[in-house]
Amino acid sequence: MMQKIILYLFFASALSGQFNHQDKLVIKRKLGQSTVTFDFDGRTNETGFFHKHLDIGIHYSFKPTWTVGLKYRAQYRTKENEWHLEQRPQGELIKVVNSQKVKWEFRTRMDYRIRGGKNDEMRNRSRIQFKALNPISLLKITPFIYNEFFFAPKSWNYYINWTAIGFDLPKTKIGKPTIFYKYVQSLNEGKWTPTYTMVFKLTI
């Protein structure tokens, strides 16, 4: 029953263009003491399908609660009905703290952005996440909330904020699904502009 619900949610998201949504497929595999990841991402807003990217990365835990990661992202976005590539080598550092009921995760990431027709630039994005250590309720969902701060290149001014709230569903034969609502604010010409998206993620 749970598999049917998950498949329905993903197919409904992929076929519907009536609301902002993001669909993610994440593949994780162990490689010795490291974890290799592949992340496929597609996004739709009121203009239609506008964003797609592929991430390839490797993470290594050099201490029980510390992890370092290196990633590469090939990202495409539409502009004037054409897809434009942005390449992003990324490096990140993750710290995990477990309390009695909550898992705290702190992540800081550096993006190096390579875009055609524009100067290369580097920016920082830092995230703090709180997640229940154990599933709750009869549905056995694991709730979480996070906030991510984006800092502009050169000036390092705070200019984008992501807030997300959602939950992980129990793992099934096809993978572990996650659903969350993401509220995004962007600073443009001194004014914060909000947008939103529903995110459907499957990790296998």
Confidence of residue 154 (pLDDT cuts 50, 70, 90): confident
Average of per-residue pLDDT across 156-161: 94
What local confidence, expressed as pLDDT, does residue 29 receive? 97
What local confidence, expressed as pLDDT, does residue 8 receive? 47
Question: What DSSP letter does each residue of 40-109 carry, written as one string?
Answer: EEEEEETTEEEEEEEEEEEEEEEETTEEEEEEEEEEEEEETTEEEEEEEEEEEEEEEEE-SSEEEEEEEE
Judged by average pLDDT, the poorest of 6-10, 36-40, 47-51, 150-154 is: 6-10
Q: State the Cα–Cα distance between residues 194 and 187, nearest whole angstrom.
A: 9
What local confidence, expressed as pLDDT, does residue 13 receive? 54
Average of per-residue pLDDT across 127-138: 93
Q: State the Cα–Cα distance between residues 118 and 138, nearest whole angstrom.
A: 51
Confidence of residue 12 (pLDDT cuts 50, 70, 90): low
At which residue do the structure tokens 């990633």 appear? 71
Q: State the Cα–Cα distance between residues 123 and 110, nearest whole angstrom.
A: 6
Taken in order of first residue, the domains within the chain and their CATH numbers are 2-203 (2.40.160.40)
| Between residues 182 and 2, the one the model is more confident about | 182
Average of per-residue pLDDT across 162-169: 97
Residue pLDDT, tens place only, 86-108 = 999 999 999 999 998 999 999 99
Q: Is 76 exposed, middle or buried (0-12, 13-18, 19+ CB in 10 A)?
A: middle
CA distances from 33 to 6, 38, 63, 94, 97 (A): 31, 17, 11, 16, 20
Residue pLDDT, tens place only, 58-67 = 999 999 999 9
Does residue 144 carry a pLDDT above 90?
yes
Q: State the Cα–Cα distance between residues 163 and 165, nearest whole angstrom.
A: 7
Q: Is 176 exposed, middle or buried (0-12, 13-18, 19+ CB in 10 A)?
A: middle
Does residue 15 carry a pLDDT above 90?
no
Average of per-residue pLDDT across 127-156: 93
Q: State the Cα–Cα distance between residues 114 and 89, nearest whole angstrom.
A: 9
